[in-house]
Chains A and B, each alone.
Chain A
Amino acid sequence: MVIAEKRMHDPGNNSKPVPAINAGIKRFKGKWTPAMAQHLAKRTLFGASPDDIRFFAGMSLQKSVHQLLNANEAMPEPPLHYLNDERFTDPDVPLGSTWVNQLTYTGMNNSRRENSFRAWWVGLMINQERSLREKMVLFWHNHFVTEMRSLGNALYGYRYNSLLRTHALGNFKVLVAAITRDTAMLRYLNGQSNTKKAPDENYGRELQELFTIGKGPGSHYTEDDVKAAARVLTGYAIDTKTLTSNFIGNRHDDTDKQFSAFYNSTVIKGRKGNDGILELNDMLDMIFAQEEVSRFICRKLYRFFVYHVIDTITEQNVIEPLAKTFRKNDYDIKPVLQQLFESKHFYDAGNRGGMIKSPVDFTLGLCREFKVAFPPPQDYVNQYGLQQQLYQQASNLQQTLGDPPNVAGWPAYYQAPQYDKLWVNSDTLPKRSQFSDRMMLFGFNTKDKTKILVDPVAFAKQTSDPGNPDVLINESVHLLYMVELPQKDKDYIKTNILLSGLQGMASDHYWTQAWQTMLTKPADAANLKNVTGKLKNLYKYLMNLPQYQLM
């Protein structure tokens, strides 16, 4: 790694200059290490479990990235109706069946279905395969924002989420076309009420400002372009019977649309009646002819997967070549991600551990890393109930899945200069510790006392020699942190937590003995309590340190 001090040009520049990372987009050819495999897993999955790390470390970098991009997961089974009670029993959908084919809508059934959807989505993240898909669903949700609470029908939210999943690793241009016609988006950004008589600019604006061109230095579309785009998009509607999107030809503005010099003064020829629907592709061809689209998306991917600051060196060495790859592949997403995740830049030591975990990474990542056991699918009542509680926890930490705060997404992904630091404030930091403490000490319960809870002994067994306090602490730290913990801290933890204050090398055997006794005499309750108590304190402590906030 070559480090050079450079002032950043990025408006997200913090007051403290951080050394630039000169390593570029060239393929990494050095030795593939477990630490690199862990870095890859942490960034592309929700948390990296010891199994994930071993899995990727056991294959090459190329195969690891190939696995993540080409897992070819089947589309998941739809969400289930999981809760009837004295307040509401759904007359149309039996317990354990899906509600996504049910078009009857009432305020009563909808909140249940929203909860079902949220619990279901959390379940998909927790049970994700070693695939980039679920993280990309979240990326696109943050990019093409809709807010469930404003949709009025959980079905729209489910379909929108499935659409993101279908195209998560597909073609960006195809996704833009699909999302434009998506029922949730048509409602959220008023596409359904955009008619030739009363054009609504909402979607036409966000399509350019937030979804494709962005507001970067190379973006120069005009207010007239917003108006023209809105007119192109007139005529879309939602069929109230089928709740699907359709196109009503006589609402479409069939006059020609003139765009600005930024778009080479393109004119989108007006099309009549139902042919008006074809103008969307004409316009997307025009928009995607702008190189700024590829740069905007690659910058956003970089901030989501690598680091929040994009300095001049990164812009030249990383964003520019990625954007070129994006364009060259007609906006297929995979080649860009493959290039990024195989690059020297991504694995540069300076890039590891430099992101603050999002609430979803923190909460669900903890569950995955500690392999917290959830009820099996047949016990969907408790499974959904517990997943719903995790949704709530992430929401308490300021990331409400399905409901970003506004159309721009979560500020942590765009708000300079703080970016991901915004996740951690005086309110959320103690709450993060409360969550990890609770997962370690009490867990979360459903009404019938089904519980999720960390098993600290099982996690300790992931280390190569848990009876050796140094090995246990060292390897636990490496499994949980992306950054090093100073030796003095490890010594401190050993003495104060594992050895109850006993000092000196000769004391290590007290822990070793306790661990061995637990294995040989599992019925010794006092010893088991002692060992589990110490391990709980150990992991609670490690998760309370700031290092655990980083990934």
Chain B
Amino acid sequence: MKRRDFLKNTTAGVVIPYLVNGMQVKAMAGTPLMNAMSRYMNDDRVLVLIQLNGGNDGLNTVVPFDQYAAYQAARTNIAIPQNKVLRLNGTEQTGLHPALSGLQQLYNAGKLGIVQSVGYPKPNFSHFRAADIWMTASDSDKVLNTGWAGRYLDTVFPQFPQQYPSAAMPDPLAIQVGSVVTTALQGPAFSMGLAISNPANFYNLIEGKTDVDVNSRWGEQMDYLETMSLKTDEYAAVIKQAAMKVTKQGDKYPAAGKNSLADQLKIVARMIGGGLKTKIYMVNMGSFDTHAKQTDTMDTTTGSHAQLLTKLSEAITAFMDDLDYLKVGDRVMGMTFSEFGRRIKSNASGGTDHGAAAPMFYFGNQVKAGVAGHSPVLPATASVNDNIDMQHDFRSVYATVLQQWFYLDAADVQRVLGGVHPLLPIV
């Protein structure tokens, strides 16, 4: 990391976040001096991005408790009953889907926050295009070829990959659990991320085995090729080394194979706990494209969307628990994002169609827990095309993370994100 990036940002409290109506801020812990010290010490900070593919239904995730009537009217077939909404300490405005009890506890413990109605002007309703916008941090009508996190990493670690691995940065800059490194990690010429194609491959790598049946001529060749390909990844050794350092992890994870996000996060925790200096991890879970039957008709607190949120909540809770168990919890900040939210009004199939702004969760021992922004303002009688208005540009979230979590220079932040974006009180 360039030294100036963290030297310039060591004075606590110089950044004045713009204030948003109804904002809840966790009381600052510790003295300014301690804070400055910890910033010096925290060059090893890590960001974990959780992508919710498909467009998560924000309104049924973070329920606008203060506008319950309008919410209920817009979604008669899928609305969460008022008495089932999980309440958050210190706020009357909003609550959580009943499947998110784990996240509720994290919030109440001051370890999780919500940014309300995140989006961008002129929202795009195509999955692929909208995801690209989130990954590249472009304006809605501009096409960028590089990713926001890639540009950040390129700023801090110039001349990747030629000069890497190096003594200062022996580890992958970013790790994606998934077959293809996301566009978000695309640098100017190269992807800054390393893909661990799937959890099974990860454990094969660590255990040095393949899952090929060698009982044939081609199988015997494949076995050799797979072994070789595990061996030859230039980062394979450091990943294996890090993994071997962690012999035991937190016990809150669901059984392997039951919750893909939890499986992925368990690997991420092991990498962080094993001492990798990797700055960014990217994981994802799919199936949020809930056009139909997102709840059971008899009980709207259950159904496909509830199952997804249960997994999300379980995975994050187990991950946070594990990070503390591994004594690295203070180094890690995580956040969820999705390419868009869904329409205010539900459709006749018991689902919701592609929408616009939506809430994001952020979490970590060192975040400022709270709710940034107010509940989305819902029309009394929502029509099919009504969308949630944006309160926060998604690039404000990125800017805050870069500047206040990673201590990137304000000027560099502007360059990475192509302009000035107000900071949020989340870190």
Q: Which A residues contact B (CB, under 8 angstroms)?
A: 14, 16, 18-19, 21, 307, 350-356, 420-421, 424-427, 429-430, 482-483, 492-493, 495-497, 499-504, 506-507, 510, 514, 525-527, 529-530, 533-534, 537, 541, 546-547, 549-550
Contacts and interface: CB of A to CB of B under 8 A. Distances in A.
Contacts of B220: 14, 16, 18, 354
Given A496-B178, A496-B179, A507-B289, 7 more contacts: A19-B215, A350-B216, A425-B228, A425-B232, A483-B222, A497-B180, A500-B131
Contacts of B198: 492
Contact of A501 (B143, B221, B286): B286
Contacts of B126: 510
Interface of B: 51, 53-54, 126-129, 131-132, 143, 178-180, 183, 197-198, 214-226, 228-229, 231-234, 284-287, 289, 291-292
Nearest to B135: A500
3 closest Cβ pairs, A-B complex: A501-B53, A354-B217, A503-B286
Contacts of B180: 496-497, 537, 541
Contact of B229 (A429, A502, A529): A429
Nearest to A427: B232
Given A492-B198, A500-B128, A16 B214 contact: yes
Contacts of A426: 228, 231-232
B234 A354 contact: no
A434 to B, nearest CB: 11
Contact of B218 (A354, A427, A499, A525): A354
A504 B127 CA distance: 14
Contacts of B228: 424-426, 429
A18 B231 contact: no
B259 to A, nearest CB: 14
Contacts of B224: 421, 424
A353 B225 contact: no
Contacts of B54: 501-503, 507
A502 B53 contact: yes
A546 B229 contact: yes
A354 B222 CA distance: 9
A500 B53 contact: yes
B179 A493 contact: yes
Contacts of A541: 179-180
A541 B51 CA distance: 21
Contacts of B132: 526, 530
A18 B286 contact: no
B222 A550 contact: yes
Contacts of A430: 232-234
Contacts of A500: 53, 127-128, 131
Contacts of A483: 218, 222
B239 to A, nearest CB: 15
A350 B232 contact: no
The residue in A352, A430, A499, A500 that gathers the most chain B C-beta atoms within 10 A of its C-beta is A500
A212 B135 CA distance: 63
B221 A355 contact: yes
Given A19-B215, A496-B180, A506 B291 contact: yes
A352 B218 contact: yes
B337 to A, nearest CB: 12
A547 to B, nearest CB: 7
A502 B179 contact: no
30 contacts: A14-B220, A16-B223, A18-B215, A18-B217, A19-B215, A21-B217, A307-B217, A351-B217, A353-B217, A353-B221, A354-B218, A354-B221, A355-B221, A420-B221, A425-B232, A483-B222, A492-B197, A496-B178, A497-B180, A500-B128, A502-B53, A503-B287, A504-B286, A525-B143, A530-B132, A534-B128, A541-B179, A546-B229, A549-B225, A550-B222
Contacts of A495: 286
A317 B143 CA distance: 62
B131 A353 contact: no
A492 to B, nearest CB: 6
A507 B127 CA distance: 10
Contacts of A492: 179, 197-198
Nearest to A513: B126
B224 to A, nearest CB: 5
A533 B128 CA distance: 11
Nearest to A510: B127
Contacts of B233: 430
The residue in A424, A482, A493 that gathers the most chain B C-beta atoms within 10 A of its C-beta is A424
Given A429-B228, A496-B179, A497-B179, A502 B218 contact: no
A506 B289 contact: yes
Nearest to B285: A501
B286 A502 contact: yes
A484 to B, nearest CB: 10
Contact of A530 (B51, B129, B231): B129
Contacts of B215: 18-19
A542 B398 CA distance: 33
A482 B222 CA distance: 12
A21 B289 CA distance: 50
Contacts of A546: 222, 225-226, 229
A367 B369 CA distance: 55
Nearest to B223: A16
B192 to A, nearest CB: 15
B76 to A, nearest CB: 23
Contacts of A501: 51, 53-54, 131, 178, 284-286
Given A492-B198, A501-B284, A546-B226, A18 B128 contact: no
Given A425-B228, A503-B53, A356 B143 contact: no
Contacts of B284: 501
Contacts of A527: 129
Contacts of A499: 53, 286
